[in-house]
Structure formats: structure tokens, C-alpha cells
Structure 1
Amino acid sequence: MKKEWLQHIATGVLVFCALVVTGLVVRRELFSGEVMTMVAPPNAPRVDDWAAYASSGHRVGPADAPVTVVEFSDFQCPACRVLASSLDTLRARYGDKVRVVYRHFPLKSHDHAVAAARASECAAAQGRFKPFHDAVFARQDSVGRVPWTRFARDAAIPELAAFEACTQQTGPLAALDRDTAAGNRLGVSSTPTLLINGRRVVGAPPLSTLDAFVQQELRGTPR
């Protein structure tokens, strides 16, 4: 009886081990397949005169970075908020090898996108574009519901009175007009739209895909 009991235990242990091994093999195959689908970025059409689109806008990163990401964006665009986080991670990962050029393209479907773009230019006048950009995306659901000075405080803008006066101006804004005109020339119809060293990508790709694009550009892989 005791012998049979021990045999049952041994059989159970063997079955358990077999299941664990099988699970690990399946997991390895699934994850290896996932990696294989992400190491190569998707085909993306090239824009030959892409450098002209990188010549204006708000730049984060050195001018001589080997990889430039031009982003046409909208502060009320949910996908742009997701992309902003991915681009920050990308820059942290690659440092001076990547620069991001932000360009405004507020969509007509977003009631407060133009005002947000104007407010970001007021922040830029005090050298705080990127912190304001980050503050708006961090609390995107508050856009249009709280004063712009709330985001300005989060962005540590030093002269709040000057910032507030700037946001109340309604005249033409050269930076906004310039970016929108550039987006129209490029045929931008949705945000975000990216140029990664001239390769046009529409939407917010996962970080793994962005990383693959950067690696391909750094290697100089034919495409």
C-alpha cells in the first residue's frame, strides 16, 4: 500500500514537471515569435525633403543627432499623449543620438487644441516649452477645464503674469501658422504623424517599433 502511494506521488511529480517544461517551451516560442515580429520596423514611405520639416519647431536633443523624429502633434490627441511618453523613453535610451522636433497640428475636431498650442508658445517664450508640453499631456483630461496657469505652475514657468497675458492674445501666431502650413504641405490629416529620418509613420507605434526604427537608422540598414 505504501509502495503504491509513493508511486502515485512520483507519477504526480513527473506530470507536474512535464507540464511546467511544456509551459516554458510554449512561452519561449510565443515570446520569440513576438520579438521576431518587432525587430524589423514596418515599411514606411520616405519623404525626400524631410529635413525642411525638421528646420522649424521645438527641438529636444542635439542638432547633429543621427536620428531625428519630427512629430506633428495635437495636445488633445490621446495617441499623441501615448507617443510623448514613448519618445521620452527613446531619448533616455539613446541620449544624444536622437532628437525630437515638435510641430503643432491642432485638429479641428478638438475644441481646445489651438488654445493649447498657443499656450505652449507662451511657455516657450520663457524657455519652458518641453515642461509645459509634458504638463499638458500629464493632465490631458483637464485641458479646457482648468486655467492654463495651472499647467504653467506644473511646468515651473517663472513669470506667470506674463504667461497669462500671453495666453489671452488672439492675434496671428507665426509658429502655429508655420507648423500648420508645413503639415498641410506634407498632407497630414491625423495626429500624430512622424518623420523618422524622413520615413513617414502615421499614428503612435509601440515603443518596440520606434526602437527598431532608430536602430535601423543608426545601423544605416538599407530600406
Structure 2
Amino acid sequence: MSKKAPTPAPVPTRGALALLVLGILTSALAVYQWVELLTLRAGGSTSCGISEHVNCETVWNSDFASAVHDTLGVPIAGLGLVWGLTAVGLAALYLAWAKAGRTVRPAANGLRLLALAGVGSVAVFAIVSARLGVVCPTCMGTYALVLAFAGVAWRGLPGALLPQAGEWGDTLKWTVGLAIVAFVAMQMPGRATPHAPKAGAFLPPVASTPATSPGTSSPDVPSAPPPPATLEAFLASLPPDQLQFISDVLAMYRAATPKLAAYSPRTLFGPADAPVKVLEWTDSKCPHCKALVEELALIKKHAPAGMLSVEARQFPLDGQCNPAIPNRGPDALSVRCAAARATVCLEGAKDFWTLREKLFAAQAFLDTDKVMEIASSGSVARPQLEACMSAPETIGKLRQDVEYALKYNIQGTPLVLVNGREVPPSAAFIYAMVLAAGNTNAPAFATLPPPRARGAGNGHEGHAHP
């Protein structure tokens, strides 16, 4: 009499169920991040743009995130969704094969390899965020889910940790196959997602021959200006959404009443009688201010001679040196206040604009030591700079900048005025006004679409004080 073969032990499924749930949660969080990214690209504010140090927007607008989107066709949130959907697919296969009595090794191996890839990605993204000097709350949620997934995959699934001989083929077939399907599915929404704006993307290349900037009271030595562009050609080069935005801002500008300057400029790029006069207030650690400074640096190189002047003033978002903000900081000089005082002390220096741009370029790594290193790297020696930064005259100038900004009911930085009228910090609008020589009735503006009603997406929300 033949004996019955022993019934095989049931395959444990608790770990796979946990991985299925974690994959669904990661996918849902990736979708939320993608929706927030679309909100940001449309000019809105996100729920995780909490402060300068706790801010997803800085990470999403970083050069690294832009390079990923440009190269792969999907934003980093899309890659998170690809990872989450692949995890869901492999966990579902595991459960289906376990129920059917089939071997679950290809799915288990795939889940572990996917976990390994996730941990590696988390390490890379965390390093990028750390180098930017910000915390991304939604990213931290993704990191936690991926690390939990890795722990369950390595400890909660049966069998050897790595694929054995003869198992690699099926493992890669299912894992890579599911990942490719998810990646291809993300291409259409990924390519429809607007990319992060690049500084000067709307401008032609700049010649590199040195030349003296005409009419500057604090001259640097910028590149030679390229052949002058025309307003008609510039507007024709812009996409429809940029044209609509310029039309909206132009309508705001026309409707506004210009205010007379409350104080004379302390330092100025360009001639005082330029037809387009830009006055801006910035904070050294404000990412939007960094973008504005970079854009204005490019516009200054392209602006036809005599058409543009730029005046820079300070509005540090720190109550230690700004009475408009509650002081919650330590007694030691903060980086924001140090940068503001150092910038005031550089006014009148021949390399003022160059050093100011270097301070903003180093924003992600800026601390008080870096401020002093950059600010004293030019024509102003460090002992002279240190003495100036503690001088009552410097503190008085900084107070004047704050009082001046408060006259415009400043809600955040950057604050930008063009010919005494507050406008959004739009480089495209400023450059269009420069090409129009400040004439809002230039014939080329007639080609713009009709402006939208106020409140239809064309208003400028100030970036709030922390």
C-alpha cells in the first residue's frame, strides 16, 4: 500500500500582505507629491512649503530634480510611483502564486531586489536634500515607507535572501518587466508635467568678451552685450503660458499707480534715468530670491545699453535684525543678518554685484563663515568688512531698507518694483519691459492674449516670512 506524499507547508503570506499595503501607501504618497508639484508649477503654493528650511519646493526645483525629469521624462515623484506600482505588482503576484500552490521565489526575490533599489535611492535623495540645506516633509514620509518595506522584505519573506542559481531569469523577468510597464505608463503624464524653470531659459546665449557695463555707479566687468533683441522676436519665442502671464502682469502694471521713491539709491546698476527701473528686496536664504538674482544677472547682460537700472535692498527674514519679524533666534549673529549687513557694507565696491551673486549662488551651504569668506574675497578686505558690519551706520541702512519695504506692505520676499509699481518677480516681464524701453503701449504688446481677470492665477502671492 503506497503512502500519500506529505502535504507541503503553506507559504507564509503575512509579509507579502504587509508589502502590498506599503506599496499602496508609497504609490498614494507619490501621487500626492506629483499633484503638489503640478500646483507649484502652476504658480500656487504647496502644503509642504512651510519655511526656508522645511520646504519640498526647494528640492523639487533643485538642479538634481530637474536633471532627473529632463533625462527620464518623469519627475522624481513619478519615479516614486513607478517603484510603488512595481512593489504592488510583485506583492500581488506573490499572494496569487501562494494561493495557487506555485513557487513564490521569483516574486520574493523581486521584492527584495526592489527594496535594495529603494534604499539606494533613498540614500541618494537624502544626500541631495541635505546638501540643499532643507527638509522635505513628504520626502521623509517616502523614506520611512521605503525603509519599512526593506525591513519586511528582508525579514518577513521565506527562503534565501538572494536569488539562487537558476532563479535569476524569472526574478528579473517579472521585476524588470513590471517596472518597465509602470515606467512607460508614467511617460505621458511625466512629459505633460512642466519642468522647473531654468535661469535665463528664455534668453539667447551671451557673448563672453569682457566689457565695461555703461552707466553703472558700482561697475562690475560683465560679458559684452549680445546683438540687441527686439520685443517682437522675444515675444514670438515664448510659449503660450508665458505670453498669458506677461499679459496678466502688464494689465496689473498699467492699472497700478506708481509711487515716488522714498529714498535715493545707495548703489545702482545702470543709469539713474533708465526707462526701466527695478527695485528689489531679498533675503539671502530665500530660494525665490536666489532665482530672481540669477535671472536679473542674465537680463543685465542682455539689456540694451541705458535701458535698465537695478537697485538692491535687504529684507532679512530674521527678527534679530528685522524689527518687522519676531525675534526668536539666538544672540549670535545669524546667517541672514550677517549676509544682509555684509551686502550693505559692499555697496559702492566695484565688485558689489559679482559678490552679491556669489552669496546667492552659495545659498544652499551659506552660514556666517561662508558669508564672511565670500564677502571678503573681492575688493573689500575682511578687517574692513568686519568693522563695517558692526557699525551703527550699517545697522541704520538696514533699518531703512526694512522701513522702505513696509511702505509697500511687504508680505514676503522677494518684493519687486518696476518703475514704482509692485509686480511679480517675473524675469520674462522685466525683460519684455526693457526691450519695450518701458513703453507699455509698444505695438508688439498688442499681440499678447487678453489679460485674465484678477484672481484667475495672475496675482502674486508673497513668500511668507518664517
Return the TM-score normalized by structure 2.
0.36
Q: Structure 1 residues 145 and 108, CA, compared in 2 at 3 Å: closer, same or farther? A: closer
Report the secondary structure of 2:281's partner residue.
Answer: strand
Specify which of 102, 105, 115 is matched with residue 312 of structure 2: 102
Are the equivalent residues in 2 in contact too, given 1:59–1:100 (CA < 8 A)? yes
Specify which of 408, 414, 439 is matched with residue 219 of structure 1: 439
Q: Structure 1 residue 181 and structure 2 residue 389: aligned?
A: no
Q: Structure 1 residue 134 and structure 2 residue 351: aligned?
A: no
Unaligned runs of 5+ in 2: 1-237, 321-333, 446-466
Q: Structure 1 residues 158 and 186, CA, compared in 2 at 3 Å: closer, same or farther? A: closer
Residue of structure 2 equivalent to 1:79: 288
Q: 2:373 corresponds to which letter in structure 1?
A: R
Q: Between Structure 1 and Structure 2, how many residues are aligned?
A: 188
Percent identity among equivalent residues?
25
Q: 2:308 corresponds to which letter in structure 1?
A: V
Partners in 2 of 1:35 and 1:201 — Cα distance? Answer: 15
Q: Structure 1 residues 196 and 125, CA, compared in 2 at 3 Å: closer, same or farther? A: closer
Q: CA deviation at 1:55?
A: 2.5
Residue of structure 2 equivalent to 1:52: 261
Report the secondary structure of 1:55's partner residue.
Answer: coil
Q: Structure 1 residues 39 and 147, CA, compared in 2 at 3 Å: closer, same or farther? A: closer
Are the equivalent residues in 2 in contact too, given 1:41–1:213 (CA < 8 A)? no
Q: Which one has more relative contact order, counting CA pairs under 8 Å at least 6 apart?
A: 1
5 Å matches for 1:187-198?
A: 187-198=409-420
CA deviation string 1:53-87 (max 9, x = no partner): 46234311111111101101111111111101111
5 Å matches for 1:3-152?
A: 33-34=240-241, 36-37=243-244, 40-42=247-249, 43-44=251-252, 46-49=256-259, 51-53=260-262, 55-94=264-303, 95-108=305-318, 111-124=334-347, 126-144=349-367, 146-152=369-375
Q: CA deviation at 1:193?
A: 1.0
> Greater CA deviation, 72-81 or 34-43?
34-43
Q: Structure 1 residues 32 and 102, CA, compared in 2 at 3 Å: closer, same or farther? A: closer
Q: Structure 1 residues 80 and 109, CA, compared in 2 at 3 Å: closer, same or farther? A: farther
Partners in 2 of 1:39 and 1:148 — Cα distance? Answer: 35
CA deviation string 1:88-144 (max 9, x = no partner): 222222232000111111113795222211111222264543232112011112322
Are the equivalent residues in 1 in contact too, given 2:267–2:348 (CA < 8 A)? no
Q: CA deviation at 1:217?
A: 5.4
Partners in 1 of 2:348 and 2:306 — Cα distance? Answer: 24
Q: Structure 1 residues 141 and 37, CA, compared in 2 at 3 Å: closer, same or farther? A: same
Are the equivalent residues in 2 in contact too, given 1:149–1:160 (CA < 8 A)? yes
Q: CA deviation at 1:48?
A: 2.7
Report the secondary structure of 1:161's partner residue.
Answer: helix
Partners in 2 of 1:218 and 1:140 — Cα distance? Answer: 32
Q: CA deviation at 1:183?
A: 0.6
Q: Structure 1 residues 161 and 97, CA, compared in 2 at 3 Å: closer, same or farther? A: same
Indicate the structure with greater strand content.
Answer: 1
Partners in 2 of 1:61 and 1:191 — Cα distance? Answer: 23
Are the equivalent residues in 2 in contact too, given 1:71–1:101 (CA < 8 A)? yes
Unaligned runs of 5+ in 1: 1-30
Q: CA deviation at 1:171?
A: 4.1
Specify which of 138, 161, 181 is matched with residue 383 of structure 2: 161
Q: CA deviation at 1:211?
A: 2.0
Q: CA deviation at 1:208?
A: 2.2
Partners in 2 of 1:64 and 1:104 — Cα distance? Answer: 23
Q: Structure 1 residues 135 and 176, CA, compared in 2 at 3 Å: closer, same or farther? A: same
